[in-house]
Amino acid sequence: MSRGIDYYWRLAGTGFSFATFGLGGLLLGLMLFPAIHLVSSGRPIAERRCQYCVHLSFRAFIWLMQSLGVLSYEIDGRDRLVRSDANLIVANHPSLIDIVFIVSMLPHALCVVKKAAWSNPFMAGIMWATGYIPNDDPETLIASCVRSLEEGKRLVVFPEGTRTVPGLPMKLKRGAATIIVRSEQPFVPIRISCQPTTLTKAEKWYQIPAKRVHFRIEINDSVDVGGRLIEGERISKANRRVSRVLQEVLTSG
């Protein structure tokens, strides 16, 4: 009881929010998205329509959590994302709902998602309908991402591949750097922080912090690494150079 009414209200609000998220994902995947694919003239059009529905759903989910007092947030530089010609968005990954914030700002976007999501009954329909890219096979993943960028699609990638462990340095996998090197396209870096930490890999949804969490999303100007790439250079060396750039912009801006 010493935790107070606010704590238990936020706990109940968190549970309600995630129950709504799961039920919403199930209804979208089983009812709305199959109907959209049925009436659309082709799969690309259907995928874009489903992506827009996910965008609206994620906006509603953030509004719900904020209205319930579960979290607060601020977004710095939203206009940079809106007006940028760069189609690749890279971000650090401190929390489970980072992707929710990012997609809520992008009417149409592809996401690289863990393969496990395709076997999750609440998410499988969404994965299939939107054309999201699984991260199971590295070479297939990179080829799909590069092709999507070449087709002018917006793509969201977390270079760490998984959520950051609080208190430890950021560890980037080679996938994001390889995508940048092979596509030779600029990217928009997004830095996300949340205080206190919540929904990390070590925390269950019900392990909420003692006070309301605050998210800060900082969207920076696009970064073009084309001038750092050397024709004929080994891709492994180029990857390391681009990884250093990613590490720098996602850590210190």
- Taking only the tens place, the pLDDT of each residue in 156-190 is 999 998 888 887 888 898 899 999 999 989 999 99
According to the model, what pLDDT value does residue 69 have?
Answer: 95
CB 103 within 8 A of CB 129: no
**In the structure, what pLDDT confidence band is assigned to residue 60 with cuts at 50, 70 and 90?**
very high
According to the model, what pLDDT value does residue 114 have?
Answer: 86
CB 131 within 8 A of CB 141: no
Domain containing residue 60: CATH number? 3.40.1130
According to the model, what pLDDT value does residue 222 have?
Answer: 93
Domain residues for the domain of 86 are: 4-251
Least confident of 76-80, 92-96, 219-223, 239-243: 239-243
Q: Which of 105, 119, 49, 114 is nearest to 218 (CA)?
A: 105
Question: Cβ–Cβ contacts within 10 Å for residue 235, how many?
Answer: 13
What's the predicted TM-score (pTM) here? 0.93
CB 219 within 8 A of CB 77: yes
Q: Which of 217, 134, 149 is nearest to 186 (CA)?
A: 149
Domains: count for the chain: 1
Q: Which of 172, 142, 181 is nearest to 244 (CA)?
A: 172
